[in-house]
């Protein structure tokens, strides 16, 4: 695998970090056999197609692009390091992620992310433009997403910031689900994202979502294998309980995380919020009593929506969420079924907004039989 990469000259870092690369060779061994199964390229391996060409930048180029990583250009920060807005010499605006050498994302995750985003292409996955491996520097250059992450529009809003309306929330859920569907159903072998959360869902000017940060992604099980055994990684509050307890990773682990994101979209609450009183700090645990009682679904809804939604739509989105959050992995729905259900519900929400004045929840009709059938299909 590594010999093949050297021939392809994919990464300058492979030449200067042989010790680090050797330690990750086992994790990357399957990538040469990754295939795509879309209608246009069925059965073709990624190596036989034109992958995304990630440009190799010098550290100087990226320092100039970000004005020497000025604080005024800082747009994000986490355990992995910092993200800066920059402008390349060509004039293109980009996001530059500078990895903290002592942070949570090491050389292994860096290589995995470059590989993943070079091989996988979808409109709901963020585009990798390039990377830098000068000396011990590790930087990634992405397309710039002007509206930032989903969490910026759900939590701790500024006084003059408009909350996301119901249709936009469903639109974001559909896009994120489509990205996940590509990873689970089109990539062959499937890719398990393993770090789905609101801060990793980026938004363009039209609130179109793109999944980002693929450093923890893993190739899924193939053949008769039912899971991938690995050390538990991810973010507390989003991690599936079955995976956290056993280390057995499946695509259904991502489905649980997606359910947590859906719950955040419905409630406007963080997955983990230590500022809330005991009993309400863990979103999933707090929501369980409401998810089990259809009459209490309304108590989950973000008060910032001020009743501007269809109660019918809320009932079905909550039902989909509850299915994703099942503690037993095998009873969680497939991502393809989730996409179908959410696309339908999003289209209904758009119709509601376009053809009906916004009304309070008291005036909303109960779910129709047609709507119930769409949701019920997920559990069959």
Residues in the chain, total: 380
Q: Which of 119, 110, 79 is nearest to 14 (CA)?
A: 110
Helical axes 311-324 vs 369-376, angle rounded to 10°: 10
Measured at the alpha carbon of residue 325, what is the angle toward residues 322 and 329, in degrees to the nearest 5?
125
128: tokens are 């990798």
CA distance 253 to 127: 24
Q: Dihedral of CA 373/374/375/378: which sign? A: positive
121: tokens are 């292409």
- Residue 97 annotated as binding? yes
CA distance 335 to 324: 9
295: tokens are 């009459």
Provide the greatest CA pair distance for the chain.
Answer: 66
- 195, 213, 254, 371: which one is catalytic? 195
16: tokens are 């200067």
Residue 195 annotated among the catalytic residues of the structure:
yes
Q: Dihedral of CA 255/256/258/262: which sign? A: positive
Give strand pairing partners of 378.
Answer: none
| Beta-sheet strand order (sheet of 74-78) | 55-56, 128-132, 139-143, 93-99, 81-87, 74-78
Judge whether 221 and 189 are in contact, CB under 8 Å: yes
Q: What is the phi-psi region of residue 81: left when phi exceeds 0, alpha when psi lies from -120 to 50, beta otherwise?
A: left
Q: Which of 27, 378, 343 is nearest to 191 (CA)?
A: 27
Measured at the alpha carbon of residue 362, what is the angle toward residues 358 and 367, in degrees to the nearest 5?
85
- Write out the binding residues: 97
Q: Which residues are catalytic?
A: 195
Q: Residues annotated as binding site for ATP? A: 97
């Amino acid at each position: 695998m590594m010999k093949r990469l050297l021939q392809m000259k994919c990464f300058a870092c492979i030449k200067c970090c042989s010790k680090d690369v050797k330690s990750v060779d086992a994790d990357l061994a399957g990538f040469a056999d990754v295939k795509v199964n879309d209608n246009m390229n069925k059965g073709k391996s990624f190596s036989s197609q034109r992958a995304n060409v990630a440009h190799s930048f010098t550290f100087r180029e990226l320092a100039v692009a970000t004005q020497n990583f000025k604080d005024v250009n800082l747009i994000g920060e986490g355990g992995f390091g910092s993200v800066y807005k920059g402008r390349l010499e060509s004039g293109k605006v980009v996001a530059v992620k500078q990895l903290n050498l002592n942070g949570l994302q090491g050389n292994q995750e860096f290589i995995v992310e470059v590989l993943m985003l070079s091989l996988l292409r979808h409109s709901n996955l963020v585009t990798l433009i390039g990377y830098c491996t000068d000396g011990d520097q590790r930087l990634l250059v992405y397309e710039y997403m002007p509206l930032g992450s989903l969490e910026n529009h759900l939590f701790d809003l500024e006084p003059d910031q408009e909350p996301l309306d119901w249709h936009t929330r469903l639109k974001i859920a559909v896009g994120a689900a489509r990205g996940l569907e590509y990873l689970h159903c089109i990539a062959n072998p499937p890719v398990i994202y393993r770090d789905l959360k609101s801060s990793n869902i980026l938004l363009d000017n039209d609130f179109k979502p793109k999944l980002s940060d693929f450093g923890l992604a893993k190739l899924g099980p193939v053949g008769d294998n039912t899971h991938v055994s690995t050390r538990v990684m991810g973010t507390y509050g989003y991690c599936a309980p079955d995976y956290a307890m056993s280390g057995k990773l499946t695509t259904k682990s991502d489905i649980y995380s997606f359910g947590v994101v859906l719950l955040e979209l419905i409630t406007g609450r963080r997955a983990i919020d230590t500022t809330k009183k005991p009993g309400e700090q863990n979103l999933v645990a707090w929501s369980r009593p409401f998810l089990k009682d259809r009459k209490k679904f309304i108590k989950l809804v973000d008060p910032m929506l001020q009743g501007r939604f269809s109660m019918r739509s809320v009932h079905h989105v909550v039902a989909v969420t509850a299915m994703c959050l099942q503690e037993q992995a095998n009873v969680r729905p497939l991502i393809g079924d989730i996409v179908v259900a959410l696309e339908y519900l999003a289209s209904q929400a758009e119709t509601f907004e376009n053809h009906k004045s916004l009304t309070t929840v008291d005036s909303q009709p109960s779910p129709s039989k047609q709507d119930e059938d769409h949701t019920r299909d997920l559990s069959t």
